[in-house]
Amino acid sequence: MKRMFALAAAVAALTIRPAFAEPAASATPAGSATPVVVELFTSQGCYSCPPAEAYLGELAKRDEVVALEWHVDYWDDLVYGSAGQWKDPFSSPEATRRQYAYNAAIEGRPRAYTPQMIVGGRKAMVGTQRDRIEDAIRRMRKAGAGAALAVSRTADGAIEAAAGGGVDLWRVDFLKLRVTEVQRGENKGKRLESHNIVLRKTKLGLGGQGAIRSAAPAAGEGCAILAQVGETGPVLAGAYCLETDAR
């Protein structure tokens, strides 16, 4: 079951992508093997979402993908007959805003539905359309990264990230794995397994200004660095903070 929503006209301004320069000499060459960022927008209150979440769990184990799971909050107030209402414990308004903004930029209209996957900040599709998603991942890997991105761990455990100019550097912290026994709502009685559940997104700064340092992930958490045009423009490069975050 899907729910679609319209935003106020003010959100229409999000349809304009920020301009960005062509990759400089420091960028990763076209055709190089670089991870593609795949973002799933989902909810534990959505009956059709568990297969997409299982697929994202598969993607999270692949070296060529940086997989992130955003839990939207617009399902939280739905009362599903006698099964009642279920508030997704991982839902956030930020996830909903990000999905609206992506669709406004990619499709020209600020809409939202679940499950939806955004590939590379440029392609939007239903989260269970494996063939389309795999094709988008292959095409973006073949094209190569649009920006150089280097992520490393310092001797004291901190994370350092650097990218070429013309992009914003974002850090996304996530829970690696959680299992939830859903008590009410559309998925009542189901045991849901979620991977790379986004907790917070933080802007580190601009590329081209040297390495930017941030703290090590908390216990049980992982993080990824995105080189992205603005907040919801094309993701030109992405990487997990630590090698163990990919497993």
- Condensed to tens digits (0 to 9), the pLDDT of residues 158-193 reads 999 999 888 999 999 999 999 999 999 999 999 999
Are 67 and 45 contacting, i.e. CB atoms less than 8 angstroms apart? no
Q: What is the tens place of the pLDDT at every residue in 13-43?
A: 332 233 333 333 333 333 345 799 999 999 9
Supply the DSSP symbol for 26: T
Average pLDDT, integer, range 209-224: 94
Q: Which phi-psi region, left, alpha or beta, contains residue 243 (left: φ > 0; alpha: ψ -120 to 50)? A: alpha
| pLDDT of 47 | 96
Q: What is the tens place of the pLDDT at every residue in 64-108?
A: 999 999 999 999 999 999 999 999 999 999 999 999 999 999 999
Give the Cα separation of 188 and 104 in Å (integer).
Answer: 32
Task: Spell out the residues 6+ positions from residue 243 whose beta carbon is closer than 8 angstroms to its own.
Answer: none
Specify the amino acid at residue 109. Answer: R
Give the Cα separation of 63 and 190 in Å (integer).
Answer: 29
| pLDDT of 147 | 86
Specify the amino acid at residue 73. Answer: D
Are 120 and 136 contacting, i.e. CB atoms less than 8 angstroms apart? yes
Distances (CA, A) of 234 to 6, 36, 76, 203, 240: 23, 11, 29, 15, 18
Task: Spell out the residues 6+ positions from residue 138 whose beta carbon is closer than 8 angstroms to its own.
Answer: none
Q: What is the tens place of the pLDDT at every residue in 217-231?
A: 999 899 999 999 999
DSSP per residue over 186-210, as a string? Answer: TTTT-EEEEEEEEEEEEEEEETTS-
pTM for the whole thing?
A: 0.86
